[in-house]
């Protein structure tokens, strides 16, 4: 649903369209900064209102010869940039634009992101992954020759390719990502080691003890004992897996490409294994409570199990918050149709 502000913009813009062609063109040139400010701030609905009524606005450039899509790349406005995918062959023409310092789209993607856009994601390593994914996505848009194109410095001398510029501008972030990843792996490794020690010891400290004559567990026939044994085994295997994964993270080379897939996947797998081991340990503890206390203090196991669900609920809430953020980032859905008018000019329809 459009807000009142957008409805007002739509109404005003429709009135502007009735101006004589010369006066209208002059107005667009003098106030084109509104278009570029909207691209910088990510006001995609405002841009759609304007472009839907006057499609030629997609060709407008600022004083540095940058289109709204170039600004969307520079300021990391994904929703604005996503409009370019609906332009068909037109996007290939816009992707050829370069600014006064010969920066193409890929050079702009190689620049460090604004802090307010970068800090949306917590953790320097995950921020590094985000900027790498953004860089790779823009790389698909530009011509192959543009990946080796050199820009110009302030003295108008040949400077860097997009890849070289990316390495220079993200050196500190890469170092911070390495530090963050190692610290996270170290802390997680410590927790996984403690869990492995506890559940390994619990496997040989049978709840209720053993029969002295034959050495078998006293509660061997109980379903709760089987729940204890299985969950304890799962916790031991999962914590051991987590230990190996976190060790592999600590021994990684931490190159740029590692932050794209390798390190985040290892971290995710390690945390998943750690979560399973914690859950297994909690289930084993609850099963032990039922074995030991259910006959005389039936309410104790129930209270303990109710409280033990809190850690799992907390982690589930964290996962759901992250999922809601990803869904919200994809909430803008724009339909665009490109047709050839009778005059032979491209006409673009946004809805």
- Greatest mean pLDDT range, 54-63, 227-236, 269-278, 316-325: 269-278
341: left (phi > 0), else alpha (psi -120 to 50), else beta? beta
Asked if pLDDT for residue 209 goes beyond 50, the answer is yes
Q: Name residue, tokens 């606005």.
A: 57
The secondary structure of 15-50 as a DSSP string is: HHTTS-HHHHHHHHHHTTHHHHHHHHHT-HHHHHHH
Asked if pLDDT for residue 297 goes beyond 70, the answer is no
Asked if pLDDT for residue 315 goes beyond 80, the answer is no
pLDDT at 170 (0 to 100): 95
Identify which of 135, 110, 115 has the alpha carbon closest to the alpha carbon of residue 176: 115
* b/e burial code for range 144-181 (CB count within 10 A of at least 16 → b): eebeebebbeeeeeebbbbeebbeeebeebbebbbebb
Which has the higher per-residue pLDDT, 100 or 50?
100
pLDDT at 275 (0 to 100): 95
The average pLDDT across 248-263 equals 94
pTM across the whole model: 0.75
Instruction: Give Cα 213 to chain centroid, integer Å.
Output: 60
pLDDT at 236 (0 to 100): 95
Asked if pLDDT for residue 303 goes beyond 60, the answer is no
Least confident of 17-26, 108-117, 160-169: 17-26
User: How far is residue 348's CA from residue 56's CA, in Å, rounded to a whole number?
Assistant: 8
DSSP letter for 89, please: T
Q: Name residue, tokens 């206390």.
A: 293
Q: Sorting pLDDT into bands at 50, 70 and 90, what band is 105? A: very high
Is 260 in contact with 133 (CB distance < 8 Å)? yes
Helix 124-139 × helix 171-203 angle, to 10°: 120
User: How far is residue 210's CA from residue 190's CA, in Å, rounded to a whole number?
Assistant: 32
**Complete domains list, the chain, with CATH:** 4-171 (1.25.40.20), 173-293 (no CATH)
The average pLDDT across 125-135 equals 94
Q: Sorting pLDDT into bands at 50, 70 and 90, what band is 344? A: very low
Is 58 in contact with 94 (CB distance < 8 Å)? yes
Paired strand residues for 105: none
Least confident of 83-87, 175-179, 310-314: 310-314
Percent of the chain having pLDDT more than 90?
A: 46
Mean pLDDT of the chain: 79
Asked if pLDDT for residue 125 goes beyond 50, the answer is yes
The secondary structure of 224-287 as a DSSP string is: HHHHHHHHHHHHHHHHHHHHHHHHHHHT----GGGGTTHHHHHHHHHHHHHHHHHHHHHHHHHH
pLDDT at 313 (0 to 100): 56
Which has the higher per-residue pLDDT, 197 or 86?
197
Asked if pLDDT for residue 244 goes beyond 90, the answer is yes
Which tens digit of pLDDT belongs to each residue from 218-233? 655 667 778 888 999 9
The average pLDDT across 174-198 equals 95
pLDDT at 110 (0 to 100): 95
288: left (phi > 0), else alpha (psi -120 to 50), else beta? alpha
Which tens digit of pLDDT belongs to each residue from 10-69? 665 666 665 666 666 666 666 677 888 889 999 888 888 778 777 888 888 888 999 999
């Amino acid at each position: 649903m459009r807000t009142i502000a957008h409805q007002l913009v739509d109404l005003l813009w429709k009135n502007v369209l009735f101006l004589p062609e010369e006066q209208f063109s002059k107005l667009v040139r003098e106030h084109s900064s509104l278009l570029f400010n909207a691209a910088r701030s990510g006001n995609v609905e405002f841009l759609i209102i304007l472009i839907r009524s006057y499609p030629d606005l997609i060709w407008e450039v600022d004083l540095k010869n940058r289109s709204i899509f170039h600004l969307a790349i520079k300021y990391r406005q994904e929703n604005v940039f996503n409009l370019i995918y609906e332009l068909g062959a037109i996007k290939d023409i816009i992707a050829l634009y370069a600014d006064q310092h010969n920066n193409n789209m890929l050079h702009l993607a190689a620049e460090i992101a604004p802090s307010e856009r970068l800090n949306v994601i917590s953790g320097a390593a995950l921020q590094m992954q985000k900027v790498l994914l953004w860089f790779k996505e823009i790389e698909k848009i530009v011509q192959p020759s543009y990946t080796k194109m050199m820009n110009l410095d302030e003295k108008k001398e040949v400077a860097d390719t997009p890849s070289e510029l990316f390495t220079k501008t993200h050196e500190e972030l890469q170092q911070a990502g390495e530090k963050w990843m190692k610290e996270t792996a170290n802390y997680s490794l410590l927790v996984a080691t403690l869990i492995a020690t506890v559940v390994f010891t619990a496997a040989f400290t049978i709840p209720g003890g053993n029969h002295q004559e034959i050495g078998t567990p006293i509660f061997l026939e109980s379903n709760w004992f089987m729940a204890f044994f299985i969950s304890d085994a799962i916790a031991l295997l999962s914590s051991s897996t987590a230990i190996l994964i976190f060790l592999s993270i600590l021994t990684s080379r931490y190159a740029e490409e590692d932050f794209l897939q390798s390190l985040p996947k290892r971290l995710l797998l390690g945390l998943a294994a750690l979560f399973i081991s914690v859950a297994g340990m909690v289930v084993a503890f609850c099963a032990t409570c039922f074995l030991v206390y259910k006959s005389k203090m039936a309410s104790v196991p129930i209270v303990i199990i109710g409280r033990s669900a809190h850690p799992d609920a907390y982690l589930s809430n964290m996962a759901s918050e992250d999922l809601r953020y990803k869904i919200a980032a994809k909430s803008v859905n724009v339909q665009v149709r490109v047709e050839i008018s009778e005059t032979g000019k491209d006409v673009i329809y946004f809805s």
